[in-house]
Amino acid sequence: MTAEGGIVKRRKLGKAAAWLGVILFLAWLPSFLPFSVEWNIGSWLDPIWLRLFGHSSGIETYRIDIGLHHATLAALFVIMAMGLNLSIGFAGLLDLGFIAFVAIGAYIMAIELTRVPLNSDSVRVFSAWWAVIPLCIFGAVLVRVALGATCLRLRGDYLAIVTLGFGEITRVALKNDLFGLTGGPDGIFLSPRVMPEFFSDPEPLYYLAAALALLSCFTLYRWKNSRAGRAWEAVREDEVAAAACGINVFRAKIWAYGLGGVFAGLAGALYALHNTTAHPTDYDFIESVKVVVMVVLGGMGSIAGVAFGSVVFILLLEVLRGLAHYRMLIFGATLVALMVFRPQGLAGRAGK
Amino acid sequence: MQQALNGLTLGLLYALIALGYTLVYGIIELINFAHGELMMFGAFFAYSFCVVLDPPTAAGMATLGGISAFIAVSDRVEGVRSRGEAVGAGLGAALVFASFAYHGGLHRLPLVASVFAALPYAAVLAMALERIAYRPLRGQDRLIPLISAIGASLFLQNLGQVEPWFFGTERKSFPETDWVKDQVLAYHGVSVSTLQVVITVVAIAMMAGLYFFIHKTRVGTAMRATAQNRKVAALMGIDTDGVIVLTFALGAVLAAVGGVLYALYLGSIYPFIGYMAGIKAFTAAVLGGIGNVPGAMVGGVLLGVLESVGAAFIDPGYKDAIAFAVLILVLLVRPSGIFGTGPVEKV
């Protein structure tokens, strides 16, 4: 065996060990949750507050609760972030309306669960919940490909604003009870009666989401260095040069964009089950921004980085929850600071 | 007909706000997502001068204005590079401090005066924004300043909700006068309110003023040169940083006036006022071909009219979606907007 072969083998072994470690950690995670910390902050907050506002803050302790549903949420956002990473990170297509496709998945799931009748044994006539997931994915991909086919010829910033616009159109349409199916501004509530039995306990959903998040990461990891992955990278770096090398730029873009829909639809279906509702305000512009931030936070195009970034981001939002609307204030300021001081993301390497 | 007329007024407002987007984009190719928030703060400053001036609001405004003014002029103190800028900065600071002094007495200003008092605040806020969130990122990948802009937008939007210094989260009526709804003209069921006349006159006057400024003054020439090629403009002795700051300030002034008129048009003011108006104004700018000043005006008016007429014909619930649907359709036919000159591929 040559020395080089040894290194490659060791590297492969190291990667396998890392995957195994993550899998074991995720499998054991539920036994550590819920987890909560409490700080007594009134003693130092009150004097400041009194001086600034003239009355006591009324806050004595600061409490952070991390439950299993946060882990599930983080896993779902990892799936979404992977889908967006495919567009932004791999192919360089800025998408500011990603959450619209998640909404499509979620609403398909919710409509299936509430509208499709049950038979006398309380079993859904047409499909089980897991059989709906492919439909959610199909719906999201279909709409995404349709939008991509019309808009992917646009230049970067124009694409960004068109996707943002599409996100808003979707939200407005859902809010206006599209086809009489989406339930208007109240959304669709999944009552315990229609929720699949499988999810009466929160753990199965967590394991499912975590497994699919891992699968998403693994898929992207496999795609990154595939023929298509290299084509995407070429298109991202320089469209003209990529075209000169014989890459069909438009086809590469539409593949990257459409495949992002797979992750969106999948995450959407589970997101509806996780929230036990499909509600238009869950799919605001700010949610798209969150997913974009996860991708940028982790480092565009990096897979471990984006996964890590999504988890950190969800945890951060949870930790800051006690601050009410100061949370988004801090979020905004952090975003600016991050871009100024570390534009390549937490895990990304310094610029070329 | 009535809808088209209402749409025309709304469109002029969009156009006024869209100009800020298009000016900034024309010079540094950045979608200034925080522009809607600048508009919100402009309107809020005018609102506080005009309607509420309790001590916390005055303190909040003074602090924000002071910090912004400090940041905006901080790197100019040593060796001021151009006389015009020094005069501008000095004037801005003087106006800000004059307003502080006025706050001391907590007087209320009449509406027009409060708009003028709010302008320097909006301008220094925009200048500080450029200094903190955008200037350090020049030359980075395009996505980076865009994310920073979204962050700045979120920051400002939520800063506006901080009570008791700023808005709070509720909707407030603006202002408590009823002249805005008075009809000045009624003809065959079509009526025009005083406000609509005011909006039309102010918007057109400001656009004409801007056009004159850009095309007939030395500073305007410098702006156009910087927009064409920043490096070469700098070689010709133009202070490009100063021009960029000035562009932001100019955009903020237009947005502040637009914001006040928009708040009057809605009859109320709230921290999210800048969000939808900002996005739609940006859509208008893209519609007209972003970076193109007459394009933004035409795009704004077109969008306003289509939105009002469309909402009346289709479904008022879909009002907010119409603008974006129009955008997608127009970009399908003309990928760089109505007046766009086609994508400039820099290889």
pLDDT tens per residue across span A158-186: 888 888 888 888 888 888 877 777 777 77
State the CATH number of the domain containing residue A158.
1.10.3470
Site from A53, A340, A352 to mutate, B interface, most B CB atoms within 10 angstroms: A340
Strands of chain B, DSSP E: 172-173, 183-187, 190-193, 268-269
- SS3 state of residue A325: coil
Query: Which of B144, B154, B157 has the most A C-beta neighbours within 10 Å, making it the best mutation to test the interface with A?
Result: B154
pTM, two decimals, is 0.81
The mean pLDDT value for A318-333 works out to: 77
| Residues of chain A neighbouring B29 (CB-CB closer than 8 A) | 157
pLDDT digits (tens, 9 = 90+) for A31-64: 777 777 777 776 777 777 777 766 766 666 777 7
Tokens standing for residue B34 = 């925080």
Per the model's pLDDT, the better-predicted residue between A200 and B129 turns out to be: B129
Chain B CB within 8 Å of residue A227 CB: no
* CB-nearest partner of A172 from B143, B151, B321: B321
pLDDT of residue B341: 62
Question: In chain A, what residues touch B36 (CB-CB under 8 Å)?
Answer: none
Q: Specify the residue for token string 């390497």.
A: A349
- 8 Å CB contact of B335 and A88: no
Cα A259 to Cα A266: distance, rounded to the nearest angstrom: 11
B147–A339: do the CB atoms touch at under 8 Å? yes
Q: What's chain A's average pLDDT?
A: 80
| Chosen from A179, A339, A341 to mutate, greatest number of chain B CBs within 10 A | A339
Closest chain A CA to residue B286? A158
Residues A50 and A148 in one domain: no
Burial of residue B135, with CB atoms counted within 10 A of its CB: 0-12 exposed, 13-18 middle, 19 or more buried: middle
Same domain as A139, residue A51: no
Confidence at residue B175, expressed as pLDDT on a 0 to 100 scale: 63
| Structural domain includes residue A301 | yes
Q: Is residue A167 part of a domain?
A: yes
Q: What is the pLDDT of residue B74?
A: 63
Asked if B30 contacts A160 with a C-beta cutoff of 8 angstroms, the reply is no
A152 touches chain B (CB under 8 A): no
DSSP state of A188: E
Nearest CA in chain B to A299: B144
Which residues in chain B land under pLDDT 70? 52-59, 62, 66, 70, 72-109, 164-165, 174-189, 337, 340-347
* The total number of structural domains that make up chain A: 2
Confidence of residue A339 (pLDDT cuts 50, 70, 90): confident
Please give, rounded to a whole number of angstroms, the shortest distance from the CA of B145 to a CA of chain A.
Answer: 7
* 152-171 in chain B: CB under 8 A from chain A: 152-159, 161-162, 164, 169
Same domain, A109 and A47: no
Residues A318, A70 contacting (CB under 8 angstroms): yes
Distance CA A286, CA A15 (A): 35
Amino acid symbol at B70: F
Q: Is residue A352 part of a domain?
A: no
Q: Are residues A200 and A331 in the same domain?
A: yes
At residue A317, the pLDDT reads 81
Q: Which of A65, A83, A107 is the last residue of a domain?
A: A65
B327 → chain A, closest CA residue: A162
Say if residue A171 is in the same domain as residue A222.
yes
Which of A158, A300, A326 lies nearest to residue B335, judging by beta carbons?
A158
Residue A295 lies in a domain: yes
B343 at interface of A, judged by CB pairs closer than 8 A: yes
* Closest chain A residue to B134, measured at CA: A340
Rg (CA), chain B: 20
Residue ending a domain, choose from A19, A45, A65: A65
Residues A291 and A196 in one domain: yes
Looking at the fold, whether A157 and A259 belong to one and the same domain comes out as: yes
Angle between helices B143-159 and B35-50 (to 10 degrees): 20
Residues A220 and A89 sit within 8 Å (Cβ to Cβ)? no
Beta carbons of B328 and A162 less than 8 Å apart: yes
What confidence score (pLDDT) does residue A263 get? Answer: 92
The verdict on residue A21 lying in a domain is: no
Q: What is the mean pLDDT of residues A246-255?
A: 85
Q: From CA B293, how far away is CA B214, in angstroms rounded?
A: 10
Last residue of a domain, one of A44, A65, A86: A65
Q: Are residues A92 and A213 in the same domain?
A: yes
Within a domain: A22: no
Indicate the pLDDT class of residue A267, thresholds 50, 70 and 90: very high
Among A1-5, A202-206, B59-63, B253-257, the range with the most confident prediction by mean pLDDT is B253-257
CB contact under 8 A, B290 and A172: no
Burial group, residue B254, by CB count within 10 angstroms (0-12, 13-18, 19+): buried
B145 CB near a chain A CB, below 8 Å? Answer: yes
Same domain, yes or no, for A73 and A50?
Answer: no
Q: Which of residues 300-319 of A touch B (CB under 8 A)?
A: 300
H-state helical runs in A33-128? 42-53, 68-84, 98-115
Q: Is B142 on the interface with A (CB under 8 A)?
A: yes
Give the structural domain span for A54.
Answer: 36-65
Is there a single domain that holds both residue A56 and residue A95? no
Percentage of chain A lying above the pLDDT 70 cut: 89
Return the number of CB contacts < 8 Å for A and B.
Answer: 136
Please tell me the predicted confidence (pLDDT) of residue B237. Answer: 80
**A16 lies in some domain:** no
Residue of B nearest to A150 (CA): B332
Q: Is residue A3 part of a domain?
A: no
Residue with tokens 């035409």, as numbered in its chain? B298
Q: From chain A, pick out residues whose CB is under 8 angstroms from the CB of B347.
A: 238, 240
Between positions 23 and 62 of B, the ones with CB within 8 A of A are 25, 29, 31
Examine the domain organization and report whether A115 and A262 are in the same domain.
Answer: yes
Please, what sign has the CA dihedral across residues A70, A72, A75, A81?
Answer: negative
Angle between helices B240-266 and B273-288 (to 10 degrees): 120
Average pLDDT of every residue of chain B = 77
Supply B113's token pair.
Answer: 């005066």
Whether A303 and A166 map to the same domain: the answer is yes
Residues of A within 8 A of B156 (CB-CB) are: 332
CB contact under 8 A, B132 and A336: yes
* Length reported for chain B: 347
Given A53, A162, A325, which is nearest B161 (Cβ)?
A325
B345 and chain A: CB distance < 8 Å anywhere? yes
Please answer yes or no on whether B327 and A160 come within 8 Å at the CB atom: no
Partner-chain residue, chosen from B137, B153, B162, that has the shortest CB–CB distance to A343? B137
